[in-house]
Amino acid sequence: MTGTSPIPVIDLGGLLLISVRGELEDDEAVVLQTDVTDAVARTGSRGLIIDISALDVVDSFLARVLAEVALASRLLAARTVLVGMRPAVAITLVELGLALEGMTTARTVVDAAAGFGVTLTAADAAEQGSP
Amino acid sequence: MTRATEEPLRLPIRRDTDLTVVRQHVRSAAQRLGFGLVQQTKVVTAASELARNTLLHGGGGEAEIRVLHGESGPGLSVSFVDSGPGIPDVGMALTDGYSTAGGLGMGLSGSKRLVQDFAIDSSAEQGTRVTITAWSDPFAARRGVR
Amino acid sequence: MSDGPPDHPTRPGSRVVIGLLRRRREQIAQRWADLPLFLAVFTVTRDEAVEACHAVVDSLVEVGESGRVDDLEAPGFHPIREQLVSMTASRGRSGLSIGQVDREVGALRDAVLELLGAESADLDAEDVAEARVYMVTLLATLRVVVIETMLQENQEIVARQRQQLLEMATPVIKLWDRLVAVPLIGMLDSARSQVVMENLLEAIVEHNATVAILDITGVPTVDSLVAQHLMKTVASARLMGAECVISGIRPAIAQTIVQLGLDLGPVTTRATIADALQWALERDRRGELPAPAARSSAHRTGT
Picking from A74, A83, A115, the nearest residue to C289 by CB comes out as: A115
Supply the Cα-derived Rg of chain C in whole angstroms: 32
> Is A4 a residue whose pLDDT tops 80?
no
> Residue C285: CB partners within 8 Å, gap ≥ 6?
none
Q: What percent of chain B has pLDDT over 90?
A: 63
Q: Chain A interface residues facing chain B, Cβ-Cβ under 8 Å? A: 23, 25-27, 56-61, 63-64, 87-89, 91-92, 95-98
Q: Element (H or E) spanning C174, and its range?
A: strand C173-176
> Is B141 a residue whose pLDDT tops 80?
no
What is the structure's pLDDT at B102?
41
What is the mean pLDDT of the segment spanning C257-269? Answer: 84
Q: How many CB pairs under 8 A join A and B?
A: 67
pLDDT, tens digit, for every residue of B49-102? Answer: 999 999 998 899 999 999 999 888 899 999 999 998 888 778 877 776 554 444
pLDDT, tens digit, for every residue of A62-86? Answer: 999 999 999 999 999 999 999 999 9
| Cβ contacts of C238 on chain A, cutoff 8 Å | 99, 105
Q: Answer for the pair C291, A106: CB distance below 8 angstroms, yes or no.
A: yes
> Is A130 a residue whose pLDDT tops 60?
no
What is the structure's pLDDT at C263?
76
What is the structure's pLDDT at A131?
54
**Alpha-carbon span B72 to C285, nearest angstrom:** 50
Quick check: A90 and C201 CB within 8 A? Answer: yes
The rounded mean pLDDT for chain B is 86
Quick check: C205 and A91 CB within 8 A? Answer: no
Domains and CATH numbers, chain B: 3-143 (3.30.565.10)
Q: Element (H or E) spanning A66, and its range?
A: helix A60-75
What is the structure's pLDDT at B6?
67
**Minimal-distance CA residue of chain A relative to C299:** A102
What is the structure's pLDDT at C6?
63
Q: Answer for the pair A104, C296: CB distance below 8 angstroms, yes or no.
A: yes
ipTM score here?
0.92
What is the structure's pLDDT at C265?
74
DSSP C70-101: T-TT-GGGHHHHHHHHHHHHHHHHTT--HHHH
Mutate to test the interface with A, among B31, B52, B104 (most CBs of A within 10 A): B104
CA distance A56 to chain C (A): 13
Picking from A83, A91, A94, the nearest residue to C241 by CB comes out as: A83
DSSP C205-259: HHTT-SEEEEEEEE-----HHHHHHHHHHHHHHHHTT-EEEEE---HHHHHHHHH
> Is B24 a residue whose pLDDT tops 70?
yes
Quick check: C159 and B145 CB within 8 A? Answer: yes
**Minimal-distance CA residue of chain C relative to B140:** C191
Q: Answer for the pair B71, B20: CB distance below 8 angstroms, yes or no.
A: no
Q: Would you tell me how many other CB atoms lie within 10 Å of the CB of residue C122? A: 6
User: Which amino acid, residue B44?
Assistant: V
> Is B5 a residue whose pLDDT tops 70?
no
**Minimal-distance CA residue of chain B relative to A68:** B104
What is the mean pLDDT of the segment spanning A3-8? Answer: 64
pTM above 0.90, yes or no: no
CA distance A29 to chain B (A): 11
**Minimal-distance CA residue of chain C relative to B137:** C191
Q: Which CATH number fits domain A9-123: 3.40.50.1220, 3.30.750.24, 2.40.50.140, 3.50.50.60?
A: 3.30.750.24
Does residue B145 belong to the interface with chain C, where contact is any CB pair within 8 Å?
A: yes
Does residue B104 belong to the interface with chain C, where contact is any CB pair within 8 Å?
A: no
Quick check: B38 and C198 CB within 8 A? Answer: yes
- A34-A109-B39 Cα angle (round to 5): 80
The rounded mean pLDDT for chain C is 86
CATH for the stretch C12-166:
1.10.490.10
> Is C298 a residue whose pLDDT tops 70?
no
- Tell which wins on pLDDT, B136 or C191: B136
Of B13, B15, B68, B79, nearest to B46 (Cα)?
Answer: B79
Chain C from 170 to 189: CB within 8 A of any A CB: 178
Quick check: B145 and C191 CB within 8 A? Answer: no
pLDDT, tens digit, for every residue of C185-206? Answer: 888 888 888 989 999 999 999 9
> Is C300 a residue whose pLDDT tops 80?
no
For residue C75, what pLDDT band results from cuts at 50, 70 and 90? very high
User: Which amino acid, residue B9?
Assistant: L
What is the structure's pLDDT at C159?
82
Q: What phi, psi does C230 have (nearest 5°)?
A: -60, -45
Distance linking the first and last C-alpha atoms of chain B: 10
What is the structure's pLDDT at C302?
31
| Cβ contacts of B56 on chain A, cutoff 8 Å | none
CATH for the stretch C173-290:
3.30.750.24
**Alpha-carbon span A67 to C127, nearest angstrom:** 86
Q: Answer for the pair C263, C270: CB distance below 8 angstroms, yes or no.
A: no
**Minimal-distance CA residue of chain C relative to A117:** C289
What is the structure's pLDDT at B105?
46
| Cβ contacts of B139 on chain C, cutoff 8 Å | 190-191, 194
Q: What phi, psi does C267 have (nearest 5°)?
A: -120, 145
| Cβ contacts of C198 on chain B, cutoff 8 Å | 38
| Cβ contacts of A91 on chain C, cutoff 8 Å | 197-198, 201, 232, 236
For residue C53, what pLDDT band results from cuts at 50, 70 and 90? very high
What is the mean pLDDT of the segment spanning A35-63? Answer: 95
- Tell which wins on pLDDT, B46 or A99: B46
DSSP A69-100: HHHHHHHTT-EEEEE---HHHHHHHHHHT---
> Is C296 a residue whose pLDDT tops 60?
no
Quick check: A59 and B52 CB within 8 A? Answer: yes
- Tell which wins on pLDDT, C6 or B83: B83
**Alpha-carbon span C212 to C204, nearest angstrom:** 7
Q: How many CB pairs under 8 A join A and C?
A: 93
> Is B146 a residue whose pLDDT tops 80?
no
Question: What residue ranges do the domains of chain A occupy?
Answer: 9-123
What is the structure's pLDDT at B104?
39
What is the structure's pLDDT at B96?
64
| Cβ contacts of A56 on chain B, cutoff 8 Å | 41
Lowest mean pLDDT among A18-32, B106-120, C153-167, C269-283: C153-167
What is the structure's pLDDT at B19?
97
CA distance B1 to chain A (A): 28
What is the structure's pLDDT at C290?
46
Question: What residue ranges do the domains of chain C occupy?
Answer: 12-166, 173-290
Lowest mean pLDDT among B39-53, B94-108, B119-133, C102-116: B94-108
> Is C239 a residue whose pLDDT tops 50?
yes
The rounded mean pLDDT for chain A is 89
Picking from B17, B38, B44, the nearest residue to A91 by CB comes out as: B38
Lowest mean pLDDT among A36-50, A61-75, B10-24, C212-226: C212-226
For residue A128, what pLDDT band results from cuts at 50, 70 and 90? low
